[in-house]
Amino acid sequence: MSLEKSAEGGTGRPAPGRVEDVRRGNLIRILASMAEARTDPDTRPTRADLATRTGLTKASVSSLVAELLDAGLLAESGTTRDGERGRPGVGLELSTSRGVVGMEINVDYIAAGLLDLGGTLRIHRTLESSNRGQSPPSVMALLGGLVRDIAAEASAAGIEILGGGLAVPGLVDSASGTVASAPNLQWRGVGLQLEQLLPSAPFGLALYNEANCAALAELWYGHGLDFRDYLFISGEVGVGGGLVIGSELFAGPRGQAGEVGHVVVEPSGPDCSCGGHGCLEAFAGQEAVFSEAGIAPGAASVRLARLGEQLAAGDAAAVAAVSRAGHYLGIAAASTARLMNLSAVVLGGHFTPMGRWIRPALQRSLAEYAPGLISDARVEISELGQSAALLGAAGSSLRAVLAAPFTLTPAGR
């Protein structure tokens, strides 16, 4: 189930432009301006600031802010004495008593967290769980328990939950809430009962791809603060990706863009689970790196730790395996950069712990295959770690709320 409740009708054509739509747009503008100002926690914007920032008049801002206060999306936070002359303004903030839930189902764990509208992660719980091959209902039941705990805690803290987002490592159809294919969970064509997780949240719950979420988390909480356009590559069991263009996720016509793991990097390469061959995943996925480095089979976390040790010790096989992965990552990134006119790459997932070794190899490869397109300074390693997908899912949900405030407001009806 998608939570997109845009101003569009069912026809695909935009709804007729009525005078009321102007107000809807301006409510969104106010919230967008608040979200943008969020980086500066000391000086909360006042109505007058918002008027300057949005170009609206003070009168309009007052009226719009009143409506958003009423809907509980904004809150006043005391007068701001800036020491200047004149009447002090009243500070405004995105409400910390409303929030959204971010959730993640991964191969080895499930997780859920609560993000308030101000963007602060207020609660965060992770539960180890071997989900590979488990039935979707049983995993959803486990997640449901986690979410109920969080909902209870939120309620105790006086936080109302407005919506949520769930990230899974696979191709999803956000509109229908189904997982088309999640090879690492061994799920295929699975419809998830999303409504049951947050039955009373007015914005419902949306389903997202994990790597896409991680890419957005990088935008909102990581290096993305400096980057507006980049390819995010997430190393997991497979290799996932997310394309950020103009500070927004490029989801493609059917919401499944970013599958950089199946870009062909070696036409004569080995067969891939996707049915093709020569895919990046066969050179940069976990199994490829571990076996190339001569690391014995076992749990992924153990193998990753072992690889880290060997890299730190300067083990030749480990260094070569990681360099090879970086080389092929560079080929895929070079092609992507040409195709989509991108100028930055961010690596996450299992690439993060091998960052020190894989980054130079990737940089060399980029210089070899697409000189001048992506400078060395624009190859970054994510530092968000395991919470990235959860943050991205929650952030997406948060943005959905801020983009449709009229759902909670008189203008919505």
Partner DNA sequence: GCTAATTAGTTTTCAATCTGAACTATATGC
Partner DNA sequence: GCATATAGTTCAGATTGAAAACTAATTAGC
Site residues for DNA per CB under 7 A: 16-20, 22-23, 26, 46-49, 55-60, 62-66, 79, 81, 83-90, 411
Q: Is 26 in the site for a second copy (CB under 8 A)?
A: yes
Residue pair 49/89 in contact (Cβ under 8 Å)? The answer is yes
Smallest separation, CB 47 to DNA (Å): 3
Residue pair 396/213 in contact (Cβ under 8 Å)? The answer is yes
Q: Considering beta carbons, is residue 54 or 97 the nearer one to DNA? A: 54
The three-state DSSP-derived secondary structure of 381-404 is ECCCHHHHHHHHHHHHHHHHHHCC
Q: Considering beta carbons, is residue 48 or 320 the nearer one to DNA? A: 48
Q: Considering beta carbons, is residue 280 or 390 the nearer one to a second copy? A: 280
Tokens matching residue 123: 């609660």
Out of 10, 78, 189, 246, the only residue in the binding site for a second copy (CB under 8 A) is 246
Smallest separation, CB 326 to a second copy (Å): 13
Smallest separation, CB 274 to a second copy (Å): 8
The residue count for the chain: 413
Please tell me what DSSP assigns to residue 275.
S
Out of 156, 296, 339, 377, the only residue in the binding site for a second copy (CB under 8 A) is 339
Largest CA distance in the chain: 73
Question: With b meaning 16 or more CB within 10 Å and e meaning fewer, what string describes 232-257?
Answer: bbbbbbbbbbbbbeeeebbbeeebbb
Q: Is 6 in the site for a second copy (CB under 8 A)?
A: no
Q: Is 314 in the site for a second copy (CB under 8 A)?
A: no
Q: Is 253 in the site for a second copy (CB under 8 A)?
A: yes
Out of 262, 306, 324, 359, the only residue in the binding site for a second copy (CB under 8 A) is 262
Which amino acid belongs to residue 288? A
121's contact among a second copy, DNA, none, with CB below 5 to 8 A by partner kind, is none
Tokens matching residue 373: 């397109």
86's contact among a second copy, DNA, none, with CB below 5 to 8 A by partner kind, is DNA
| Those residues with Cβ within 8 angstroms of residue 392's Cβ, 6 or more apart along the chain or in another chain | 102, 165, 167, 208, 212, 213, 214, 215, 216, 217, 220
276's contact among DNA, a second copy, none, with CB below 5 to 8 A by partner kind, is a second copy
Smallest separation, CB 327 to a second copy (Å): 8
Residue 287 vs residues 17, 235, 300, 381, 411: alpha-carbon distances, Å: 54, 11, 9, 21, 53
Tokens matching residue 330: 């560079």
List residues near a second copy by CB under 8 A: 9, 13-19, 21-23, 25-26, 29, 53-56, 60, 228-229, 241, 243, 245-246, 250-260, 262-267, 274-278, 331-332, 334-336, 338-343, 368-372
